[in-house]
Amino acid sequence: MKKPVVIATRRSRLALWQAEHVKQRLEALHAALAVRLLPLSTRGDEILDRRLDQAGGKGLFVKELENALAEGRADLAVHSMKDVPAELPPGFMLAAVMAREDPRYAFVSNHYDEIGKMKAGSVVGTSSLRRAAQIAQRHPRLEMRLLRGNVETRLAKLDRGEYDAIVLAVAGLVRLGLAARIRSRLGADESLPAPGQGALGIECLQSRREVVSLLEPLADRATTLCARAERAVSRALGGSCTLPLAAYAELANGRIQLRALVASADGKRIVRAEAAGDDPESLGAAVVEVLRERGATEILASLGH
């Protein structure tokens, strides 16, 4: 490609780190390639007073970037996979899903080493219904409270004493050089991750075959298979930020091991399912079938789905 390749990205420091990471990988793979970033503001970054499910869901973080692709202002867009809706608009594709960072969640506090040692009534901040529901079920004595904003904003609110602890993605803290803030890491049994958690996805137009070819070497096979299985769960349940849904897959001995759950918003009812298989989409559908048998349909109905 003679012209510079343009990467559309959100403006947050974490999003810029992720886009710069892709830029460096592309320039290392293709010596003559020039790559530049196009930072954009998204609705998801601007709405800070409401949960994402109340503001319109996870598409809030990707729409402006997709507009830049459609209008030819950018050649590709870098997303956190957890922010990418289960269904892409016609004409768009995920050209590469990169190797996953640690998908766990970090317990961050200035007073406590771990969540189980917090006093009754302590305030825990999180932006996610999924995390809030799982923590509320295991630790009903704690008060869950909304926490929005970028990573630095959330840490500043913790340091001002607005929260006794906050829960953030390990991947984001590690990528920003803030791993020292992590007091402990919540295992998947404590807080099952979001579909795609910790992985980067690169989106482009299906018609841009030269861009697809550039990106192919960045794809990680294991992460791609696992993300496909997780997203199949989300797709089958109409998944968006509007429901407390978790799905996490691992590749073991060549087979995909998939765990998923659906929770009521208050965490008082959580249904879980797990299975193993070879085909990501079939596996996701099978796990959803078990979730529905165990009551997921009723939970979704109570949430207005």
pLDDT tens string 102-157: 999 999 999 999 999 999 999 999 988 899 999 999 999 999 998 988 899 999 99
The 10s digit of each residue's pLDDT in 38-95 is 999 875 555 444 444 444 445 567 989 999 999 999 999 999 999 899 899 999 999 9
For the record, the structure tokens of 64 come out as 């402006």
pLDDT at 51: 46
Answer yes or no: do 93 and 207 share one domain: yes
Answer yes or no: do 93 and 10 share one domain: yes
pLDDT at 59: 57
Pair 113, 184: CB distance under 8 Å: yes
Q: Please tell me the distance from the alpha carbon of residue 226 to that of residue 243, in angstroms, as a whole number.
A: 21
Answer yes or no: do 89 and 138 share one domain: no
* Residues, the chain: 305
At residue 241, does pLDDT exceed 80? no
| 182-211 mean pLDDT | 96
Pair 301, 271: CB distance under 8 Å: no
pLDDT at 55: 44
Cα separations in angstroms, 164 against 107, 135, 161 = 11, 14, 7
Answer yes or no: do 277 and 129 share one domain: no
**Does the residue 148 lie in any domain?**
yes
Answer yes or no: do 140 and 23 share one domain: no
pLDDT at 240: 57
**Does the residue 139 lie in any domain?**
yes
- Closest to 137 in 3D by CA, of 246, 276, 288, 289: 246
Percent of the chain at pLDDT exceeding 90: 79
pLDDT at 302: 82
- How many Cα atoms sit within 13 Å of 23 on the Cβ side? 17
**Does the residue 38 lie in any domain?**
yes
For the record, the structure tokens of 203 come out as 């989106």
Q: Which domain holds residue 269?
A: 234-302
**Does the residue 94 lie in any domain?**
yes
| 244-269 mean pLDDT | 93
Of 53, 75, 83, 164, the active-site residue reads 83
Answer yes or no: do 130 and 163 share one domain: yes
| 205-213 mean pLDDT | 97
Residue 239: band (very low, low, confident or very high) from pLDDT cuts 50, 70, 90 = low
Answer yes or no: do 70 and 206 share one domain: yes
**Does the residue 287 lie in any domain?**
yes
Answer yes or no: do 80 and 115 share one domain: no
**Does the residue 71 lie in any domain?**
yes
Answer yes or no: do 112 and 84 share one domain: no
Total number of domains constituting the chain: 3
| 5-27 mean pLDDT | 96
- Closest to 172 in 3D by CA, of 52, 63, 12, 49: 12
Answer yes or no: do 152 and 210 share one domain: no
pLDDT at 124: 97
Pair 258, 275: CB distance under 8 Å: yes
At residue 215, does pLDDT exceed 90? yes
Answer yes or no: do 72 and 214 share one domain: yes
pLDDT at 141: 95
The 10s digit of each residue's pLDDT in 267-282 is 889 999 999 999 999 9
Q: How far apart are the first and last CA of the chain?
A: 45
Residue 242: band (very low, low, confident or very high) from pLDDT cuts 50, 70, 90 = low
Identify whether 113 is a catalytic site residue: no
Q: Please tell me the distance from the alpha carbon of residue 254 to that of residue 134, in angstroms, as a whole number.
A: 29
CATH of the domain at 212: 3.40.190.10
More confident position, 242 or 188 = 188
Q: What angle do CA 48, 50, 53 make, to 5 degrees?
A: 120
- Any bridge partners for residue 274, and if so which? 259
CATH of the domain at 279: 3.30.160.40
pLDDT at 54: 46
Can you give the pTM of this predicted structure? Answer: 0.90
**Does the residue 145 lie in any domain?**
yes
Residue 213: band (very low, low, confident or very high) from pLDDT cuts 50, 70, 90 = very high
